[in-house]
Structure 1
Amino acid sequence: MMKPAKIESSDSPQFFDESEVPDGWELKKLCEDLILDIQPGFACGKNTRDGQGIPHIRPMNVTEKGQIDLTDLKFVPESECSKPERFVNEGDVIFNNTNSPALVGKTAYYNLPEPRAFSNHMTRLRCNKELIDPVFCAMVLHQKWREGYFKSVCNNHVSQSSVGRQVLLDTQILLPPLAEQQRIVARVEALLSHVNATRERLNRVPLIMKRFREAVLQSAIEGRLVQLDSCEKKSINDEDTEVSLPQSWRLEAIENHVSRLTNGYVGPTRDIYIESGIPYLLARHIKKHKIIFDQRTFISEEFNQKNRKSILKKGDVLVVQSGDIGQTAVVDDDHVGHNCHALIVITPKGESLDGHYLSIYFSSITGQNATRQIQTGITLKHLNCKDVKKIKIPLPTLAEQREIVRRVGLLFERADAIDREVEVAGRRCERLTQAVLGKAFRGELK
């Protein structure tokens, strides 16, 4: 068996004192007989992604969960890997020695049967298995990364940070007897498997809710959310559209039910911005059917007066003209009087068309398909007002429109509540993960 590497100890900051050591445990540095061999990787300017050669483990191949991920692999020529010390083998611990301050120190147990090369941004550790279990070692080091230890001891350079060989070896850990280490590893893996299964289920919810919202919007403009007059359907054939609608509904062009349909200012914008003045909405401010004026932009009163046609009124519908085409929002009290850039502004006739209903139409699958069909341009796709005017929408009575808007609002409120619940549950999973790992390496995990 290899003898422990001859490693000198030096002073470095630690987070423990003797009073924190559980009975039967020891407070030890890695350099105190725990590591048989420590080996930095190597840089290679001949790396490729063509799958030819030897896979080269890099920082992105160790995840923030402390696992090996080979999704993004680079390869180096076999001629660069002629020495055995250039390989990481099953049972080794791989440590990320160079990265951003937030990521330096990520660690994983290498559990794959195939040897792979590793870059100079990684350090390979081989444990003295009579004293420390390699999986336990990787878990402990990765937990210290989670707790911010390596960020506190790293060297900061111009564009990255690094943890030197000696600093790594001087890292103190609480070390239980070998049998207890193995019990802790098994217990942690069992507990975290349940947490991870819950997290995976939670991660599926956003897609489910996305499809739910799409279904709600599509049902709304097909008359399946509410039918006040009749439950019977009628088929309407049009040169552009074939739909099945409730008896009282009509298929009519948008231009017949709006008093204004125009685009905001289209042209260079950087020179027109000022530090304060008239708020100026851009396409990026239209998010999830809302106006979110976070990165604020302003124009002068003079410029506003030159572009009076696109000054916003309450109830106006905004449609993104280029970029994320077809996204919509309705102007509320907070944004009355604003002006806009690269947005189509639509003022519905209140006696026949509700702005929120029109926004629902544009957000539905049918509405998105309609705007997609009329996009023009080669390098930058966009909508023309004259084409948007001709779009034919399923139009119920005004009373039905308002009831549809109300019901969509209620369903979306419930969807938003579920999103919040999922977010809270996700944070609980993360806290539970931290609690399990923290207890495990303090000797408190039963």
Structure 2
Amino acid sequence: MNDVEIPDQWIQAKLPDISNLNMGQSPSSSDVNISGDGIAFFQGKAEFGKLYPTVKKYCSAPRKTAEKNDILLSVRAPVGPTNLANQMTAIGRGLAAIRADENNVNFKFLLYYFRKIEPWMSEQGTGTTFKAISGQFLKELDCIVPPLAEQKIIADKLDTLLAQVGTTKARLDRIPKILKTFRQAVLAAAVSGKLTEEWRERHEISRSGWLSTKFSSICREITVGYVGKMADRYESSGIPFLRSQNVRAFQYSDVNLLYISKDFHKKIYKSRLEPGDLAIVRSGAPGTTCVIPASLGIANCSDLVIARPNEKLISDFGCIFMNSEIAQKNVSENQVGVAQQHFNVGSMKKMPIDLPSNKEQTEIVRRVEELFAFADSIEQKNNAALERVNNLTQSILAKAFRGELTADWRAANPELISGENSAEALLAKIQAEREAIKKQPKPKRNAVKKKTGSRMSKQIIKIVDALKEAKKPLNGQELLAASGYPSDSNIDQLEQFFLDIREALVTEKAIVKIKRDDDGQDWFALAEPVADE
């Protein structure tokens, strides 16, 4: 993976050498809620927001947790996407929490490193039902390690550059919506007569000459596509058979086009399609309309209303009208059916329309096509620009982790990347600190902490004992305090608290969880009443 050249002052190390790895484990479904009881819970990538994960679920008894500024890595379906925890968080089996070694590794630098390798990570998952990576895979993962001072410089530069990329991308992302609004405005102007107002003045034509009519009066025929079972009727080739998915606004699509035999086409000839027909979707996206092109040839269809214009209606103008908001509103208000609503032939025949002369229809079609072509060209340029911007993020990350963004900084600050500030010295320091921690005696469970100024001044007692002393049900926060934990408990203390609850609930069955109607929180009580002493 790391086969690119890196600066001489950088080294490579395994992920566990510079961080703590915590693979997620899903809690019991009974411990997960949406009422806000417990701590934030994320099962996997699905809950990730743009900047931080969006909290939608909570967990009252987590099995695995992450702290603020831990990197949340999606390890299954999909593999690779990352986010940053902005609070203590319960993590399910779809996530791993990676905590940069405190004071020795810049957490943002490590986050950006994972975002740089995300495309590679996405290809590393194994499995048949869904792709996933294991904790062992992560333990063997190679990481790039610059000196600590340079890590911060890289993270700061990436903050600035990628924020600029994000701003540019956000602007480009808004353009399709702007163009959609523009196209609808063009259609509204077209069917109201505003688009050709100046044209009529030049030709001394009045808007009052427009004919208020219905589609039944301007079509030779309005019918419906074939309604019947088709499972055994499709052929590998033959007569094209359109369905609603083959009709897009203003254009016919041959994606997933099916075929029927000539004999079957003759049997259902009434549902045929002819060049110039208006093909109108009945359900799904009702009212969406295209003109059947001559290039399609002989064809048939199902799930479509077919409007066959007479000499009063130019097909392309009919298509413009049907895709306009005024017609779409009529379609929406005149659908029928109970199980599934759809637009039918009767509603199409009654569809009102203000119809200009054929000459003005032709002019309207020309102007709409010209304006839509302009919008299409902008959209194509925007898509190309968006693709370049999307590629720019990975390009910037690649330069950062080749050392190119900080080449000048290294030249100007040799003392910050050598000697005791070198990457080798940093790794040795991390190892020494970990060895020192291993030699320290482990604190006994439920030990009394009496240090001056310590957050812990009260003895921690078991959950069951706290409820016995209280002699009444307690909610989560009350039980935390009653058990001797401080209100600002750290992650280790909270993990111990939740483990005690689980042990008392599941293993000892000494307490029960109850729901109170007044606040919707989980409350805890002794499984059996305790007699007064």
2:28 alignment partner, one of 32, 45, 60:
45
Residue identity opposite 1:131 in structure 2: N
* CA pair 40-383 structure 1, distance change in 2 beyond 3 A: closer
Change (3 A) 1:106 1:390: closer
2:123 partner letter = K
Assess if the C-alpha contact under 8 Å between 1:310 and 1:340 holds in 2: yes
What is the percentage of aligned positions where both structures have the same residue? 29
User: What is the root-mean-square deviation of aligned Cα atoms in Å?
Assistant: 2.3
Q: How far apart are residue 231 of structure 1 and its match?
A: 8.5
Shift of 1:300: 1.5
Counterpart of 1:26? Answer: 11
Q: Residues 218, 150 of structure 1: CA spacing in aligned structure 2 closer, same or farther, 3 A cutoff?
A: closer
| Displacement of 1:199 | 0.7
Structure of larger gyration radius: 2
Q: Do the aligned partners of 1:230 and 1:248 also contact (CA within 8 Å) in 2?
A: no
1:126 lines up with 2:78 in the alignment: no
Q: Give secondary structure in 2 for the equivalent of 1:162.
A: coil
Residues 233 and 383 of structure 1: is their aligned pair in 2 closer, same or farther, counting only changes over 3 Å? Answer: farther
Post-superposition shift, 1:270?
Answer: 1.7
Q: Distance in 2 between matches of 1:128 and 1:322?
A: 57
Residue 265 (structure 1) aligned with residue 243 (structure 2): no
Residue 79 of structure 2 corresponds to residue 104 of structure 1 = yes
Q: Structure 1 runs of 4+ off > 4 angstroms?
A: 61-65, 230-234
Match of 2:386 in 1: 426
1:338 aligns with 2:294: no
Match of 2:194, SS? coil
* Shift in CA distance, 233/372, structure 1 to aligned 2, threshold 3 Å: farther
Specify the SS of the correspondent of 1:271: coil
**How far apart in 2 are the matches of 1:387 and 1:170?**
65
Q: Secondary structure at the match of 1:189?
A: helix
Matched, 1:205 2:175: yes
Q: 1:27 to 1:62 in 2, by over 3 A?
A: farther
Structure 1 partner of 2:478: none
Q: 16, 19, 24: which is aligned to 2:3?
A: 16
Query: How far has the Cα of 1:130 moved from its partner?
Result: 4.2
- SS of the residue 2:16 aligns to: coil
The code of the aligned residue for 2:2 comes to F
Specify the alignment match of 2:112 in structure 1. 139
Displacement of 1:318 in angstroms is 1.0
Q: Is the 8 A contact 2:234 2:260 kept in 1?
A: yes
1:387 is aligned to 2:387: no
TM-score by length of 1: 0.85
> Any idea what SS the aligned residue of 1:173 has?
strand
1:219 has 2:219 as partner: no
Matched with 1:188 is 158
C-alpha distance in 1 between matches for 2:57 and 2:239: 51
The separation in 1 between residues aligned to 2:362 and 2:176, in whole angstroms, is 28
Name the amino acid aligned to 2:399: K
1:90-133 CA distances to partner (integer Å, 9 max, x unpaired)?
23222223x13xx31333333x2x31211122222222234321
Mapped to 2, the partners of 1:286 and 1:335 lie a distance apart of 13
Matched, 1:173 2:148: no
TM-score w.r.t. the length of structure 2 is 0.71
Q: AA paired with 1:440? A: A
Of the structure 1 ranges 276-285 and 262-271, higher mean CA displacement relative to structure 2 is found in 262-271
**What is the CA–CA distance in structure 2 between the aligned matches of 1:30 and 1:331, rounded to whole Å?**
59
Q: Which runs of 5+ in 1 are unaligned?
A: 1-13, 235-244
Q: Which amino acid in 1 is paired with 2:353? A: I
Pick aligned residue for 1:151 from 111, 123, 128? 123
Aligned to 2:433: none
Q: 1:380 to 1:108 in 2, by over 3 A?
A: closer
Indicate whether 1:70 and 2:40 are aligned: no
| Higher mean displacement: 117-126 or 291-300 | 117-126
Per-residue displacement from partner, 1:156-191 (whole Å, max 9, x unpaired)?
223123322232122222211111110000000101
Deviations 1:170-223 (A, max 9, x none): 222221111111000000010111110011111111111111111111110100
Match 2:270 to one of 273, 295, 309: 309
Question: What is the match of residue 376 of structure 1?
Answer: 336
Write the deviation string for residues 49-94 of structure 1: whole angstroms up to 9, x where unpaired. 44433321222267597x43215x3322x2x23x7xx321123222
Unpaired segments ≥5 residues, structure 2 = 407-533
Partner Cα separation in structure 2 for residue 288 and residue 273 of structure 1 = 25
Give the Cα–Cα distance (whole angstroms) in 2 for the partners of residues 289 and 158 of structure 1.
41
CA 1:303–1:427 in 2, change beyond 3 Å: closer, same or farther?
same
In the TM superposition, what are the counterparts of 1:292-371 in structure 2 within 5 Å?
Answer: 292-350=253-311, 352-371=312-331
Does residue 274 of the first structure (1) align with residue 258 of the second (2)? no
**How many Å apart are 1:364 and its aligned residue?**
0.7
User: For residue 247 of structure 1, what is the aligned residue in structure 2?
Assistant: 208
Alignment check: 8 A CA contact 1:281 1:340 kept: yes
2:68 pairs with 1:90: yes
Distance in 2, matches of 1:305 and 1:366, equals 37
State the aligned residue count: 403
Partners of 2:352 and 2:93 in 1: how far apart?
61
Indicate if the aligned counterparts of 1:94 and 1:109 stay in contact, CA closer than 8 A: yes
Residues 221-251 of structure 1, C-alpha deviation per residue, up to 9 Å, x if partnerless?
10011144448999xxxxxxxxxx9122111
CA contact (8 A) 1:289 1:330 kept: yes
Kindly tell me: are residues 294 and 128 of structure 1, through their superposed partners in 2, closer, same or farther at Cα, counting changes over 3 Å? same
Q: Which protein has the bigger helix share? A: 2
Q: 1:61/1:355 Cα in 2 relative to 1: closer, same or farther (>3 Å)? A: closer
Does residue 436 of the first structure (1) align with residue 436 of the second (2)? no
Q: Give secondary structure in 2 for the equivalent of 1:379.
A: coil
